[in-house]
A and B are shown apart, each in its own frame.
Chain A
Amino acid sequence: MPKMDAELAQRLLSTMWRIRAFEERVAQLKRTMQVHGLIHLSIGGEGVAAGVCGQLRDDDAVYSGHRAHGHAIAKGAPLTGMMAELMGRVDGLCHGLGGSMHVVDREHGMLGATGVVGGNLPMAAGDALAAKLGGTDRVAVVFFGDGAVQAGHFHETVNLAALWELPLIFVCENNGFAEFTPRSAHTKVASVCDVVAPYDFERATVEGSDVGAVWTGFGKFLKLARRGGGPFLLECRTHRRAGHYEGDAQEYRDELAEQEWAQRDPLARFQVQALAAGLIDEPTALEIEAQARAAVEAAVESARKSPFPTAELAAELVYA
C-alpha cells in the first residue's frame, strides 16, 4: 500500500462504500422494477473508480462505458441525482432521460457513460485535444472494459492519441469477461498493455482490487499528463462480482469461493490494510459504511418524491 494519511484512507474507503452501497441498493430496486433499463453493476471494481477519480479535479473529463455508476460517484456525482436518474425521475442528473448507461454530471466532470461498448473512447480523445489546444493542464480519462479493445474505435483512438500526444489516460478495467464470454474467446492477445505496445507510450498493469496500487499507478501517469505528457494506459485487473447486467443468470462461470472473493474484494482488502496500518479503526470503518448506506437510503427516498419527466421536456431537449 502506498504511503497515505488517515484522511485519504478514509476518503477512499468512503468513496468505495458509497459505490458499493449504491449498487447493492440498485440491485434490490431492480428486482422490484423501481430502477429502469439495463443495469450494469461494478461490484468488485470500486478500487479502480476510487483510485482514479479520487485524484482528478472537476475540470478533468471522465468518460466511461456502460458500467459507470462507480466512476460517476467517485468523480463527485451526487447520490440523489444518480438514484433519481436510474429511477427515471425528473430530478435525476439527466432529468430521467439518460438512465444508468448514460449518466452525465457536467459540473463534476463526468462527461458521459455510453451504451455502445468503447463508443466514448474517441470522444475522450477529443476532450484531451481541446485541453491541449487550450493550453491547460486538464486531462481526460476514459474507462473501458477489455471487451472494448477488440473494437475498431479502440485502435483508431489509440493511434490518434499517440500520434497527437494527447493528455489522455486510458483506464482499462480488465475483468476477463466481455459480456458472457471470457477474454480467451475474443482474442489471442493476453493483456491489453500488449495490444498497445507498438505505439510505445507508457503503460502499466495493476491489481484493480488494490486501491492503493491503482492510486499509485494512476497518480504517476496523471502527474506526467498534467505536464503535457500522454497518452497512457493503466490496465486494472478486476473481478466483476455481478453479472454482465442485473438479472444475468451467469451460467457461463463458476462463482468465486467466498474466501477467494474476500481477497479480490477491493473494500475488504483495503479495510484490512488500513486497519493494519493504523490509518483507521474499526468503529470508524463501520461508521463510514453506515454513512454510505444512510446516504443511499436518503437518495432513494428523495428520488421517490420526484415526478417522472414530461413528454414536453423530452421534446424540448432534442436540440440545444
Chain B
Amino acid sequence: MDVNIIYNVEHEMPLGMAIALYFYLTGLSAGSFIISTFAYGFGMTKYKPLGKIGVVMATLLLVIAPIILLVDLEQPLRFWHLIIYLRITSPITWGTFLLSLYPMNCIVYGYFMFMGDMKKTKIFGLIGIPLALLVHGYTGFILALGKARVLWNTAIMPPIFLVSAMVSGLAMMILVVIIKDYFVQRNKERNPDLIYDLAKLLAASIVLDLILIGIDLSVLLTSHTEAYKAAVMLLAGEFALPFLGIEVLLGAVIPLILILSPFTKRWIPALALASVLVMIGILAMRYIMVVGGLSIPLS
C-alpha cells in the first residue's frame, strides 16, 4: 500500500564527526600503547625500538582526544559535573575515570622508561594494558548501550572497537617506524625486519576485524526489521560507498593483498601505502558507526 509522510519532526543528529574522530584517536592511542608494552612489559626484545615511540604517541593522542570531547559538549565549562555528579550506569562516567587514569599511567610508564628503570617500567606497562583495553573498550560500550540505535546496540560493538584499535595502532606504528628509519634518522642502521613483523601482525588483526564485521552484518541481516534495514543501509544504501568502498575494500582488502602478496610484502613503499589505507579505513569505520547509526530514523 502506498504510504506517504505528510508531516514529521526529526531533530538534528546529536553526535557527529567530532565523536567519530575521538573514537579514532583513543583507538590509535590504545593500539600504540599495547605495541609499546610488547618489549617493555612482555620482554619481546625485537619490538624494543617501538617502546619509546609507542608511549609518546599514546600519551600525545590521549591528550588531544578528550579536548575534542570537551569541545563537543554544549556546556564545556560544566565538565566538572562529570566528576561530582557521576552516574555509574552511564559509560561516559566510566570514561571520565579511564580518561584520567590512563594518560597518568602512560606518563609514569614513559617516565620510568626514559629513566631506564626497567622493573618499574614493566609494572606500569602491565597496569597500563587493562587500562588501554578499557579506555577503548568503553567507547564501544558508549555505542552498544545507546539502545535506541540499532546499528550500535549489539554485543559485538566493544570487541569490534578493540580489534579496530589494534589494526589502526599497528598501521600507525608501521608508518612511524618507516618515517623514523627512512626520513628522520637516515644515517643510522635500518631495521626492515621490524616492519615486516609488524606487517604480519597487522594482517592478522585485519583478518580478525573482517571476521567480526562479517559476524555483525550476518546477525543484523537475519535479525528484526530495523536491524535488517541497518544492514541494507551499509550494503546497498546511503553508506554503501563508505562501508564497502572505503572501510572494507580500501581499508582492509587492498592492504591485506599488499601485505601478503609475495611481490610487495618486502617492499617498504607498498607497506607504507597499506598502512595509510588501513588508517583511512578505520577512520571511515568510526564515521560510519557514529553517523550511520544516527541516521536511521526513529519517528
Chain A complexes with chain B = no
List chain B positions with a Cβ less than 8 A from chain A: none
List chain A positions with a Cβ less than 8 A from chain B: none
